[in-house]
A and B are shown apart, each in its own frame.
Chain A
Amino acid sequence: MFKIVNKRSLNPTVTLMDIEAPLVAKKAEAGQFIILRTDEDGERIPLTVAGFDREKGTVRIIFQIVGATTEKLNHKSVGECLADFAGPLGRPTETDGLRKVCVVGGGVGCAIALPIAEKLHKEGCEVHTIVGFRNKDLVILEDEFKACSSKLTIMTDDGSYGTKGVVTAPLKEAIEAGENYDEVIAIGPLVMMKFVVATTKPAGVKTVVSMNPIMIDGTGMCGGCRLTVGGQTKFACVDGPDFDGFEVDFDEAMKRGAMYRDFERHSYEETCNLFKKEVQ
């Protein structure tokens, strides 16, 4: 069993947790993910590692409440345990030799972007960060990004904080202004990553995206997380989750990601109703 040792709400729909998992904490690197089950009979879900403390033996996860499992997870308190917490899985983000990188995060994807930005910063790389949120209330990890970025741009869809607009606007400006990024690393909703690539590809700026498809075992057995990358079938769990953004078929990934939408919506509603009843 894996104990929750810290829990903090970052915004109304995003929660941070530190989980006691010493073996995972010892090995985790930025860009990797874990698989968890909240309870026996729970669903296995992948979450990308948002941080780790090797000494304390804890791994940080940051998740958005989007369905039944994340709703159940959010109902757990400090001191309670998760049934399963396995990892670290996937390949770490490659940072070797990078000297100037633009990290682009969207929404809860920023939680995954942060450890990568921190790692790059620690390795002496110049980090520019562009993060995007729907509105001011949803902005997360601003101070943390400030600490590891030499330039931080915050965008909101409605202009209630930072600059109004999407992340690709300042990215395009920066590239056109002659910021010679070795690489752009983008993590966020599929549609955001697709448009980041549409921005960087014409300029020829190498772009790495972190994919988060539906997974079951996460260890290279079931093949559920397959993606088409460069015309070939790749498995996010063992070949990724980072891929060359120029090669990823985003439209296909978006369709596959929606395969269980009806089921998910239904079970999310049921779970919410169950919790409501408990409260009553």
Chain B
Amino acid sequence: MAVNMEPKKHEMPVQAPDVRNHNFSEVALGYSEETALSEAARCLNCKHMPCVTGCPVNIHIPAFIEKVKEGDFEGAYKIISESSSLPAVCGRVCPQETQCESKCVRGIKGEPVGIGRLERFVADWHNEHASENVNKPEFNGHKVAVVGSGPSGLTCAGDLAKKGYKVSVFEALHTAGGVLVYGIPEFRLPKKIVKKEVDTLKALGVEIDTDVIIGKTVTVDELFDMGYEAVFIGSGAGLPRFMGIEGEALCGVYSANEFLTRNNLMKAYKDGSATPVMHAKKAVIVGGGNVAMDAARTAKRLGADVTVVYRRTEKELPARREEVEHAMEEGIAFKFLTNPVKIEGEDGWVKSILCQQMELSEPDESGRARPIPVEGSEYEIEADCVIMSIGTSPNPLIKSTTKGLDVNKRGGIIVNEETGETSRTGVYAGGDAVTGAATVILAMGAGKTAAKAIDEYISGK
């Protein structure tokens, strides 16, 4: 088949900005078959496969794209699912621009192949067309417990189940999916897609026990007593951080975690929901990561005028470029080099947020320019809602009830990065519980690494 030498990748069709900022339906609409075939034809099928090295779970990218070229979409899905337990999720939320696509040879002279968009197309095609007849592997006689049903836990569970392990996943909340259901909004990742991926794992024999809080309901040590030979901890990020400024306890101040959980897990954005959420008039989001973008775009959809304040410049925003662009298109204002110093209140409710201008100086230990305040530059932004999105610290429940599990000074579980092994024999960990807030795909990579190590540990016993 002739290579399509078009320098640009096919654009992703999206809902128009002034339409989508009033609804919670998915923003990106996905490639058609025709577009997918044409985009796949841009792939050079390089023999050295640089894209694969950019993928944290090493999907055989050129091979699946070859199948797309042939119109064998189910074949393409099979190749992806050998490496990834959550293709429809990754196709949507992975930062491909800094991973697989950043290594693509086509990116040297033009734009890289739209690998993420093709992955999404293939996964969606499969979910729509393929009849589910998963081959449930034969039980190998070994049981493994997975703590948390987020991206790292589901990946670890999927990989082990494919090898014949009996895997039980313990989830503290009432729905499986972790951050995919409580954190990432419907308009970026429809919850029915998460459910579908979880159902696929269940069909493989993975058991999911909701409403079980490991560290409280059952401890890690008790899991071993129950006959599990290894435990993977993927309990995710924990408590939200606050700035420690005056006024953070006023009504109308949320952590991004709370605001997003109310909307995503509890569906507070829907009329008639049992869980309330504030419909703000003017919301200020503090922070510049993906979570801040999700909070900003959610507040916008609930009817607020939204301003994101970030203490560095646009260039340093940690959020994915695509998320920032989407937010800007949707009418969200950004104030860069701006940092809150105080939240002003009236009768216990937020009235405004006092900010100061910042300027960048020498790089700090993170390598990014350190923002320092400009004296006398304080000014007020009117607001009735402030959403703090400045990160989280790891959940304390497991470390406080598991003897001999070493954590670093930030509370993250210490692991051998090659294997995910912790200081406790048979206990592995990965994802945000180890790294602090990071990406879905890095958590999946960690789940995958641990699954391999757990398999080696148990078969070597």
* B217, A27: Cβ atoms closer than 8 Å: yes
B254 contacts which chain A residues (CB < 8 A)? Answer: 224
A260 contacts which chain B residues (CB < 8 A)? Answer: 276
Contact with B along A260-280 (1 / 0, CB 8 A): 100110010000000000000
A224 to B262, CA, bound (A): 10
* B239, A238: Cβ atoms closer than 8 Å: yes
Contact with B along A222-237 (1 / 0, CB 8 A): 1110111000010100
Interface residues of B in 53-107 (CB under 8 A from A): none
* A238, B396: Cβ atoms closer than 8 Å: yes
B29 contacts which chain A residues (CB < 8 A)? Answer: none
Known interface pairs A216-B261, A217-B173, A220-B397; A228-B249 also in contact (CB < 8 Å): yes
Is B212 an interface position by the 8 A CB rule? yes
Is B407 an interface position by the 8 A CB rule? no
A221 to B259, CA, bound (A): 11
* A88, B217: Cβ atoms closer than 8 Å: yes
A234 to B61, CA, bound (A): 47
* B238, A220: Cβ atoms closer than 8 Å: yes
| Contact stretch, chosen from A36-44, A101-109, A146-154, A158-166 | A36-44
Known interface pairs A89-B213, A221-B182, A238-B239; A43-B249 also in contact (CB < 8 Å): no
Q: Using CB atoms, name the residue of chain B closest to A215.
A: B258
A238 contacts which chain B residues (CB < 8 A)? Answer: 239, 395-397
Known interface pairs A223-B240, A238-B397, A263-B276; A86-B211 also in contact (CB < 8 Å): yes
B212 contacts which chain A residues (CB < 8 A)? Answer: 23, 86
A87 contacts which chain B residues (CB < 8 A)? Answer: 213, 216-217
For chain B, give the interface size range.
35 or more
B274 contacts which chain A residues (CB < 8 A)? Answer: 41-43, 68-69, 267
Q: Using CB atoms, name the residue of chain B closest to A27.
A: B217
For chain A, give the interface size range.
35 or more
Known interface pairs A44-B174, A235-B239; A221-B257 also in contact (CB < 8 Å): yes
Interface residues of B in 199-253 (CB under 8 A from A): 210-213, 216-218, 236-240, 242, 244, 248-252
* A221, B213: Cβ atoms closer than 8 Å: no
Is B318 an interface position by the 8 A CB rule? no
Known interface pairs A37-B174, A216-B275; A222-B240 also in contact (CB < 8 Å): yes
Q: Using CB atoms, name the residue of chain B closest to A259.
A: B251
* B174, A256: Cβ atoms closer than 8 Å: no
Is B348 an interface position by the 8 A CB rule? yes
A88 to B211, CA, bound (A): 10
A75 contacts which chain B residues (CB < 8 A)? Answer: none
Partner of B395, one of A44, A89, A221: A221
Is B267 an interface position by the 8 A CB rule? yes
Is A203 an interface position by the 8 A CB rule? no
A42 to B242, CA, bound (A): 29
Contact with B along A14-44 (1 / 0, CB 8 A): 0000000001100100000000010001111
Is B172 an interface position by the 8 A CB rule? yes
A223 contacts which chain B residues (CB < 8 A)? Answer: 239-240, 242, 255, 257-258
The smallest C-beta distance from B412 to any residue of chain A, in angstroms, reads: 15
* B396, A219: Cβ atoms closer than 8 Å: no
B372 contacts which chain A residues (CB < 8 A)? Answer: none
Known interface pairs A42-B274, A252-B249; A222-B258 also in contact (CB < 8 Å): yes
Q: Using CB atoms, name the residue of chain A closest to B397.
A: A220
The smallest C-beta distance from B130 to any residue of chain A, in angstroms, reads: 28
Interface residues of B in 145-166 (CB under 8 A from A): none
Q: Using CB atoms, name the residue of chain B closest to A266.
A: B276
Known interface pairs A37-B174, A217-B182, A233-B248; A222-B217 also in contact (CB < 8 Å): no
A222 to B265, CA, bound (A): 11
The smallest C-beta distance from B206 to any residue of chain A, in angstroms, reads: 20
B348 contacts which chain A residues (CB < 8 A)? Answer: 255-256, 258
B250 contacts which chain A residues (CB < 8 A)? Answer: 255
- Among B182, B213, B238, B240, the most chain A Cβ lie within 10 Å of the Cβ of B213
Is A83 an interface position by the 8 A CB rule? yes
Is A85 an interface position by the 8 A CB rule? yes
The smallest C-beta distance from B242 to any residue of chain A, in angstroms, reads: 6
The smallest C-beta distance from B335 to any residue of chain A, in angstroms, reads: 24
Partner of B276, one of A37, A217, A255, A264: A264
The smallest C-beta distance from A94 to any residue of chain B, in angstroms, reads: 15
A267 to B273, CA, bound (A): 9
Is B266 an interface position by the 8 A CB rule? yes
A226 to B173, CA, bound (A): 19
A210 to B31, CA, bound (A): 54
Q: Using CB atoms, name the residue of chain B closest to A86.
A: B211
A222 to B250, CA, bound (A): 16
* A217, B172: Cβ atoms closer than 8 Å: yes
Known interface pairs A86-B212, A220-B396, A235-B239; A255-B251 also in contact (CB < 8 Å): yes
Q: Beyond the given A256-B348, A263-B276, could you list 7 further A-B residue pairs with CB under 8 A, ordered by the A residue number?
A: A217-B182, A219-B213, A220-B239, A222-B240, A222-B257, A252-B249, A255-B251
Write 10 A-B pairs (CB below 8 A) sorted by A numbering: A24-B217, A43-B266, A84-B211, A89-B213, A216-B262, A219-B397, A222-B261, A224-B258, A263-B276, A264-B276
